[in-house]
Amino acid sequence: MSGRPRYAALVAFVVAAIAVLAIFPRVAQPYYVTLVLPAFAYAIALLGFNLLFGTTGLLSFGHALFVAIGAYAAAVMTSKLGIKSFELILVVAGAVAVIAAVPVALLAVRYVRIFFGILTLAFGMLFHSFLFKFYNLTGGDTGIRVLRPTLLGQDWKELDKTAFLIGPFYYACLVLAVVLGFAMWRIVRSPFGLHLAAIRENARKAEYLGVRVRLFRLIAFLISAFYGAIGGAILAVNTGQADPELAYWTHSGELVFMTVLGGFANFFGPLVGAFTFIFLKSELMGATQYWRFFLGATLAVIVIAFPRGLMGLAGDLWKKAVRR
Amino acid sequence: MTSFFDVLIGGVFHASVLFLVAAGLQLVFGVQRIVNLACGSFYALGAYFGITAVNWTSAHGAPPWTFLPVLVGAGILLGAIGPFIERLLRTVYKRDEAFQLLLTFALVLMFQDVLRFFWGANPQQLGNLSMSYGKVALGEVSFPTYNVLVMAASLAIAVALGVFLRRTAYGRVLRATAENREMAEALGADVRGIYAIVFTLGTVLGTVGGALVVPTAAASLDMPVELVVEAFAVVVIGGLGSMRGALAGALVVGLTRALAISFYAELEVLAIYVIVIVVLVARPAGLFGKPVE
What does the DSSP assignment read for A236-260?
Answer: HHHHTEE-GGGGSHHHHHHHHHHHH
The residue among B172, B145, B136, B159 whose CA lies nearest residue B19 is B159
Is a pLDDT exceeding 50 seen at residue A2? no
Q: What does each of the 293 residues of chain B score in pLDDT, given as a tens digit? A: 557 777 888 888 889 989 999 999 888 888 888 888 889 999 999 999 998 988 888 888 878 778 888 888 888 999 899 889 898 888 888 888 888 888 999 999 999 999 989 988 888 887 767 677 777 777 777 777 888 888 888 888 888 888 888 888 888 888 888 888 888 888 887 888 888 889 999 999 999 999 888 888 888 888 888 888 888 889 888 888 788 888 889 999 998 888 888 877 777 778 888 888 888 878 777 777 765 54
How many residue contacts between A and B have a Cβ separation below 8 Å? 131
pLDDT computed for residue A293 by the predictor: 92
Q: How confident is the model at residue B291, as a pLDDT?
A: 59
* pLDDT tier for residue A224 given thresholds of 50, 70 and 90: very high
Pair type for strands B141-144 and B135-138: antiparallel
DSSP state of A212: -
Identify whether the C-beta of residue B158 lies closer than 8 Å to the C-beta of residue B19. Answer: yes
Cβ contact (<8 Å) for B236 and A112? Answer: no
Q: What is this model's ipTM? A: 0.86
Q: Within 13 A of B274's CA, how many CA atoms are on the CB side?
A: 10
Q: Is B86 contained in some domain?
A: yes
- Residue B34 has φ and ψ, to the nearest 5°, of -115, 125
Q: Do A134 and B266 touch (CB under 8 A)?
A: yes
**B84 within some domain:** yes
Average pLDDT, chain A: 86
**Predicted confidence (pLDDT) at residue A126 exceeds the cutoff of 70:** yes
* Residues sharing a CB contact under 8 Å with residue A301, sequence separation 6 or more, in sequence order: none
Among candidate residues B199, B150, B138, B107, the one with its CA nearest the CA of residue B17:
B150
Q: For the domain that residue B21 is a member of, what is the CATH number?
A: 1.10.3470
Give per-residue pLDDT as tens, A163-220.
Answer: 777 888 888 899 999 999 999 999 988 988 888 888 888 888 888 887 788 898 899 9
Rounded to the nearest 5 degrees, what angle is found at the Cα of B102, between the Cα atoms of A192 and B192? 120
| pLDDT (0 to 100) of residue A102 | 93
Q: What is the total count of domains within chain B?
A: 1
**Which of 137-156 (B) contact A at CB < 8 A?**
none
- Residue A1 has a pLDDT of 44
Q: Is B287 a domain residue?
A: no
Decide if A144 contacts A241 (C-beta within 8 A).
yes
Round to whole Å and give the CA distance between A63 and A232: 11
What does DSSP say about strands A144-145 and A241-242: parallel, antiparallel, or unpaired?
antiparallel
Amino acid at A101: A
Domain of B152 in residue numbering reads as 2-282
Closest to A250 (Cβ–Cβ): which among B99, B225, B266? B225
**Is B290 inside any structural domain?**
no
B139 part of a folded domain: yes
B59 CA: distance to closest CA in chain A (Å): 30
Give me the pLDDT at residue A35, please.
Answer: 87
pLDDT at B62: 78
Q: What phi, psi does A82 have (nearest 5°)?
A: 70, 20
Shortest distance, CA B293 to any CA of chain A (angstroms): 9
Helix axes B2-32, B223-238, angle to 10 degrees: 80
Q: Name chain B contacts of A256, Cβ cutoff 8 Å.
A: 98, 101-102, 105
B109 contacts in A (CB within 8 Å)?
A: 292-293, 295-296, 299
Establish if A112 touches chain B: CB-CB under 8 angstroms: yes
The residues facing A145 across adjacent strands are A241
Q: How far is B105 from chain A (nearest CA, A)?
A: 7
Report yes or no on B247 lying in a domain: yes
Chain A contact present for B282, CB below 8 A: no
pTM of model > 0.90: no
pLDDT at A152 over 70: yes
Q: Does A168 touch chain B (CB under 8 A)?
A: no
How distant is the Cα of B74 from the closest Cα of chain A, in angstroms?
Answer: 24
Mean pLDDT of A258-262: 91
Q: Counting Cβ atoms within 10 Å, is residue A168 exposed (0-12), middle (13-18) or buried (19+)?
A: middle
Asked whether the beta carbons of residue A107 and residue B281 sit closer than 8 angstroms, the reply is yes
Q: Does any domain span residue B293?
A: no
Choose the closest CB to B105 out of A123, A126, A299. A299
Instruction: Name the DSSP letter for residue A28.
Output: S
Cα(A35)–Cα(A56) distance, rounded to whole angstroms?
Answer: 30
Task: Report helix, strand or coil for B214.
Answer: coil
Tell me, what DSSP letter sits at residue A158? T
B229/B273 Cα distance (integer angstroms)? 9
Does residue A11 have a pLDDT over 90?
Answer: no
CB contact under 8 A, B233 and A122: yes
Closest Cα in chain B to A294: B110
Chain A positions in Cβ-Cβ contact with residue B25 (cut-off 8 Å) = none
Quickly state the pLDDT bin for A4 (edges 50, 70, 90).
low
Max CA pair span of chain A: 65
**Are A253 and B105 within 8 A, CB to CB?**
yes
Calculate the alpha carbon distances from A243 to A68, A101, A237, B69, B272 in Å: 8, 20, 12, 42, 22
- CB atoms < 10 A from the CB of B121, how many? 9
Surface-to-core class of residue B40, CB atoms within 10 Å of its CB (0-12 exposed, 13-18 middle, 19+ buried): buried
